[in-house]
Structure 1
Amino acid sequence: MKIKTTLFILSIASGVLFQSCHKKSNQGPDDPPAGKPAVTRIEDVLNGKDQSLINILNKVRGSVGKRGPASKTIWSRKNDYGVGLYISANHIYNISGWSSRNAQFFNLFSENPGIFETSQIPPANGNIALGNTLIADFPLMHFDISPNATNTTILPSEDFYLGVIDNQRIEQGPLPQYPTLVQTAAPLQMYDADNRTKAIQTWATPVAGEKAIAVGYPQDNGNYPNGAVAYGKILSDTEAADIIQKLKAAGDAEGEVPYNPAVEFFVEAQGIAGMSGGGAFNSEGQLLGIMVRASDKEKAPKIIRVVKVVYIKSRMVEFYNGLPETSKSKVKPFISGEL
């Protein structure tokens, strides 16, 4: 079975933006206008007239940043130190970079897997442009990865890991540049106008039929210098299973990847290379999951595969509960608010 296409390596045909394949004659006020591209620049949404969409975007956009050639999403600051616990995709990290394919964690009190290069989040003052400031990024844990998985074939059920962002920042300069050990003395300063990352419930389970807003940083920096927004309906499991058959008929590789309702959900929208690791949020600003794959054939239905936070959390808790007590003490301070 040939499986290809992650948002990280997705090739985009004939231009950058695509029309939505599912226009409705009874458009509501929150629907993208007919004829509008399915992927929009962040600044265009913020300068638009849909105030509800503007409000949602302002709740969540500070949580999504760059990680390598793609994206990462700050899930929570509810931990012992108030640092940022983020989620990104294994294919962004490059799974060959992990020292083991078995689940593992880093003891950030004594190990330093951190990087500055290519790690950015929006400025804490809410400016749209990321500028030249890099922020420290520390992988924290990943979960079991199949021996035969590659960056392009890894399935959504394995395509995620957790990391930490602290307040260490530098300006871009000669490579390489590395942070010191993770700094826990001060909470992460970030743009989070409604304290989404500190809310009682930072995440939610997707509800079929509702709209999701997905935010990421396409590799096409010329057209999307400050990130991009995809906005579309959350499909039911029945609709997603039906879409798989349509993708297969259209010759899209996503038709060969089985839909797993326990792991993922589909958003009826177009994804662009580099949006992997970016977050999908509901209208309350709660994190629903991270983008990992998308259809790419021009005549195929446009869908984005999103790994559910509820699934990621279950894997995190399972891994944590299986650790010896001495190891738990090294991990728990960073994930305590989401256990």
Structure 2
Amino acid sequence: MTTTLADVAARARVSPATVSRVLNGNYPVAASTRERVLRAVDELDYVLNATASSLAAATSDLVGILVNDIADPFFGIMAGAAQSAIGGQEGTGRGGGEKLAVVCNTGGSPERELTYLTLLQRQRAAAVVLTGGAVEDPEHVAAVSAKLAKLSDAGTRVVLCGRPPMEGGGSAVLATLSFDNRGGGRQLAQHLLELGHRRIGYVAGPEERTTTRHRLEGHLKALDAAGIKDDPRLVLHGPYDRRSGYEATRELLDREPGLTAVVAANDTVALGACAAVRERGLRIPEDISVAGFDDLPFSVDAVPALTTVRLPLYEAGAWAGRLAMGAEAPPEGGVAVVRGELMARASTAAPGR
């Protein structure tokens, strides 16, 4: 039985006119209403008309690049590189022209991520690139897997960049470029241990993110191998921003006066950690060593220069763009592990130097 616009309106609890406005994009509609309509469209697999139905398996000249926060250099660098690679491929559009790469900023919202995937499905996107860590919620993972399967079945090329392989939804993904966050976390902790640190605070990212868990697991594994018992008091979670690093480091210094080092979830968080250390009248690295992760552009110019783990963000983003365009064959098995490199700089030294 064919789904009608009225069926969608009934499911979304809005008028047929509102559904039409959302789908045509020619009239402003409240964000919550828009998301409810798109969810109903997705659940009912509604297409606008018979012509659209016949084209459901075709693809357009559109490529979607999903990021958690476009203002974060981690995502901006990857998205910019992917967009450049996609725009630089000639003769691949329906009319032989270039693809239009659009960056979709989810703001870290799982609901917004699904909404963008629905919109890209309706636009019959040629490719979708999802960047950064995923939310570890079984219901959301299942919803994303189902959405990617629909996109793939319609001919959309799906590439993950900076994400671990999807559980249960891997068949829909053309290629996964997965950062070795565990390995990077382990390298960073080993570096501090070799310098002589034993009381190390850790400012982690949001608990629900895969990136957060993997980096922390690598850190704790290195401590365990050195015979240092895990102390939950020395691990605090928060957003990937400067304020989180500042507030968490203040609390860590209150909890453990004998702290000699702080590892931050990323370089931006590390800047906040440095501010908190200086506010206490402590020197970096003479009194407290501070380390970050990612090697964002400002890291080498910080004072002192920040010890961190360099991830090849630009290279990974460009690779994802080429894969999305079909300009490069997927890695063997569909998954490639992108490893980081320890960048030991002036913000870390032996304790009590």
> Is the pair's TM-score, using the shorter chain for normalization, greater than 0.5?
no
More helix by share: 2
TM-score, normalised to structure 2's length? 0.24
TM-score, normalised to structure 1's length? 0.24
Q: Report 1 or 2 for greater relative contact order, CA contacts < 8 Å, sequence distance ≥ 6.
A: 1
Structure of higher CA gyration radius: 2
